[in-house]
Structures are given as C-alpha cells and as structure tokens.
C-alpha cells in the first residue's frame, strides 16, 4: 500500500467505490476526492504526492473496479462540473461530470439537435470523450468541438480541439493522467417536438433491446470491423450462459449481467471465459471495451 497521506479537506480515506459504478462491485479507494470546481480540483492535485496513482472515475458505467480497490487517489468530478450552458451560437459548453442523458434532454428542450443519441448512454461527458461514446448512428467525435483537460501530475490546464484527440471507435488519446473538466459540442437548430420524440424513441429502443435495471456496464466487447460482438456471441448459443453470479444477458449477448452478490473477480473471470470461448470456436479475439480498474487475478479462465 502507498504510505503517504493526502492532507486536504476535500479528500477522504477508504471510500467504497462499488456504489459509484453500474456493476456495483469493487473495493475501496485509498483516497477519494469529489472536487466541486476547478480551484478545488487543482488544490487537491497540488497536495497529492507526485508518486500517488490518480484514477478518474466518471459515472462508472464502463468500468469494473477491482475487489482490492484502488491504491491511490480516485477523483470524481462533482458540483459545478455538472453544469451545462447552451449558447446563442448553438454551442453547448458543459462540465466533465454532466450526465449524458441530461445533456441530451437539455439540448432537445432548447431546440438544438445532434446530441439526442446520448440519452441512452448512462455515462458522463468526460467518460464519453475518453471512450468516444456513441450509438444510434452518431458518436462523440461527430458532435464535439473541443475539451479542457487538467493534467493530474502538473495541474496544468490545456484546451484540445477535437482533431487533436484521435477519436476512433470507442477510443481517444485522452491519457490516464488527464481529466476532461469541460467539453464544447456543436449543434444544429431543430424542432423541439421532433427532438423530444427522438429522445422518447431512443429511450424506448433501449428498454426493448437492453437489460435495463440490471448490474452491467453496457457492451463488454468492442465490435470487430464489420461485425457485432453481440451477434458473434449469440451465434454460439451463449445467451443466458451463466457462471456463478454472472451471465450473458438473454436480451443482448454483448451485455454481461451480474447478480448483486457478484465480485469484480467473478466479472473478470466471466468476461475472459467468454473471450476464450469465442476465440476457440471462431478464431476471433474480442477486445474488451469495459475498463478493468485496479488489480485482478490473471487466473486460467478456459
Ligand atoms: C446500460 C448501458 C448502456 C451503455 N450504452 C452505451 C452506448 O450505447 N454507447 C457507448 O459508447 N457506451 C455505452 N455504455 C458505456 C458507457 O456508458 C460509456 O462508455 C460512457 O461514456 C462512460 O462514461 P462514464 O462517465 O461512466 O465513465 P467511467 O465508466 O467512469 O470511466 C470510463 C473511462 O473513462 C475515464 N474517465 C471517466 N471520466 C473521465 C474524465 N472526466 N476525464 C478523463 N477520463 C475520464 C475513466 O478513467 C475510465 O478509463 C453503456 C453503459 C451502460 C451501463
């Protein structure tokens, strides 16, 4: 365990991380901070020893936190980082912690089109930039203009344009020592009624095609070029396959659903077992899209 102490009023010791994730698993953060504004974030970073590992957590909808927790400082943006400002020129400036469904609904209510696809993605703006989140024919790369990033080691702020982020399918060059604190999106004018209908239709599609109300982190594997991981897993008859407290969703084969008593290691084991099964039977190595944070036992999973 790291021994140094982070002496800052905004930093707590030993905070359970499971409740901050959609899988609801994982151990404690050695230290945890939820800064409410840029000044507090930078002051926390300044107080943190340079050797301390810093991990940023958004809404935890694409991660599995290790049962051993994170031996470092976990930063989760709070307070004013969830603000959204829709400007007269159609640009939408928002904080890194803003939940994506709120962004989608705010833009639709203001008659701005382009951001409706975010309504079904339960992440934050920062997580969406890092993962280039997308769906329903769009993605973050298509709607983002620029971001403001804080470097966790130096505390320096920088502005990066969308073309500098290497946004490709579910990937970006935003590194593990960078925190997206703000993002600016571009939108087009639209009809509020039509935009709200779009929101309703996407929400309905999600309810019909995804296992809502369960512990999961969305699509587990990235899609290989021109294929769908869910279709590959389904073609092997694996829907509903269960090992202990984790199963392949019967509704969407790329969703792996955990029972409330599952551990992070159970999820790790299950994901790697499915990965090995698919590779053995099809020769295709599916690459996880979900992010495993912290240490996992690299056990034999075939
Ligand atoms: C039911 C369900 C449906 C989903 N559907 C979709 C979908 O349609 N399309 C899609 O793309 N994804 C989908 N996801 C996955 C997930 O919602 C997205 O990847 C989302 O962008 C993750 O955001 P987050 O805030 O939850 O990030 P987290 O899960 O908290 O973190 C993900 C990664 O981003 C990093 N990160 C988080 N915040 C920041 C920040 N402010 N600055 C820098 N790095 C940061 C973390 O360190 C981590 O590496 C779904 C998930 C669920 C549970």
If you average pLDDT over residues 87-111, what whole number do you get?
98
- Other CB atoms within a 10 A radius of the CB of residue 42 amount to 16
Q: Report the share of the chain in percent with pLDDT over 70.
A: 98
Where exactly are the structural domains of the chain? 11-76, 80-209, 229-293
Residue 253: is it exposed, middle or buried by C-beta count within 10 angstroms (0-12/13-18/19+)?
buried
CATH classification for the domain delimited by 80-209, as one of 3.40.1190.20, 3.40.50.720, 3.30.70.20, 3.30.465.10: 3.30.465.10
Give the residue, out of 76, 123, 124, with the most ligand 1 atoms within 8 A of its beta carbon, to mutate for a pocket test. 123
Tell me, in angstroms, the distance from the centre of ligand 1 to residue 278's CA.
25
Region 15-33 average pLDDT: 98
Q: CA separation (Å) from 256 to 107, 153, 197, 243, 253?
A: 31, 35, 30, 11, 7
Ligand 1 nearest atom to the CA of residue 170, by list position: 11
Paired tokens of 139: 């993605």
CA of 292 to the centre of ligand 1 (A): 12
User: Of all residues in the chain, what percent carry a pLDDT higher than 90?
Assistant: 96
Confidence (pTM)? 0.96
**Per-residue confidence (pLDDT) for residue 302, from 0 to 100:** 41
- Fold of the domain built from segment(s) 11-76: 3.30.43
Kindly give the distance from the C-alpha atom of residue 289 to the centroid of ligand 1, in angstroms, as a whole number: 10
Which pLDDT score is estimated for 298?
87
The residues assigned a catalytic role are: 170, 219, 289
pLDDT, tens digit, 9 for 90 and up, residues 121-174: 999 999 999 999 999 999 999 999 999 999 999 999 999 999 999 999 999 999
Judge whether 44 and 10 are in contact, CB under 8 Å. yes
Whether the predicted pLDDT of 299 surpasses 90: no
Pocket test for ligand 1, best of 19, 100, 130 (most atoms within 8 A of CB): 130
Residues 272-287: what's their mean pLDDT?
Answer: 98
Q: Ligand 1 pocket check: which of 64, 218, 290, 293 to mutate, most ligand atoms within 8 Å of Cβ?
A: 218
Q: Cβ(130) to ligand 1 under 6 A? A: yes
Q: Is the pLDDT of residue 2 over 90?
A: no
Distance of CA 3 from the midpoint of ligand 1 (Å): 30
What's the pLDDT at 301? Answer: 47
CATH of 229-293, one of 3.40.50.2300, 3.50.50.60, 3.90.78.10, 3.30.560.10: 3.90.78.10
Please report which residue ranges of the chain form alpha helices under DSSP H: 38-47, 100-109, 125-131, 140-143, 192-209, 229-235, 264-282
Nearest CA to ligand 1 atom 33: 127
Q: What mean pLDDT value characterizes the chain?
A: 96
Count each helix (H run) and each strand (E run) in the chain, helices first. 7, 18
């Amino acid at each position: 365990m790291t021994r140094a102490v982070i002496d800052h009023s905004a930093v707590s010791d030993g905070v359970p991380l499971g409740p901050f994730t959609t899988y609801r698993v994982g151990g404690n953060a050695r230290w945890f901070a939820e800064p409410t504004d840029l000044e507090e974030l930078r002051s926390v970073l300044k107080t943190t020893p340079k050797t301390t590992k810093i991990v940023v957590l958004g809404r935890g909808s694409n991660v599995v936190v290790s049962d051993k927790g994170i031996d470092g400082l976990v930063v989760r943006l709070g307070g004013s980082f969830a603000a959204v400002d829709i400007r007269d020129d159609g640009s939408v400036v928002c904080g890194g912690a803003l939940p994506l469904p709120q962004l989608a609904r705010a833009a639709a209510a203001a008659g701005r089109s382009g951001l409706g696809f975010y309504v079904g993605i339960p992440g934050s703006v920062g997580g969406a930039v890092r993962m280039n989140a997308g769906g329903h024919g769009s993605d973050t790369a298509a709607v983002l203009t620029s971001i403001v990033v804080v470097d966790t080691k130096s505390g320096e702020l920088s502005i990066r344009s969308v073309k500098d982020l290497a946004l490709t399918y579910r990937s970006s060059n935003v590194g593990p020592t960078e925190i997206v604190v703000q993002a600016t999106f571009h939108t087009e004018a639209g009809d509020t009624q039509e935009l709200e209908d779009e929101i309703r239709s996407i929400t309905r599609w999600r309810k019909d095609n995804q296992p809502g109300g369960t512990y999961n982190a969305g699509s587990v594997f990235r899609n290989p070029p021109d294929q769908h991981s869910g279709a590959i897993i389904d073609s092997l008859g694996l829907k509903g396959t269960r090992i202990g407290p984790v199963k392949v969703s019967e509704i969407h084969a790329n969703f792996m659903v955990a029972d409330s008593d599952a551990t992070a290691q159970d999820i790790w084991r299950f994901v790697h077992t499915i990965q090995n099964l698919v590779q053995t039977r099809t020769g295709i190595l599916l690459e996880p899209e979900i992010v495993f944070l912290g240490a996992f036992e690299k056990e034999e999973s075939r």
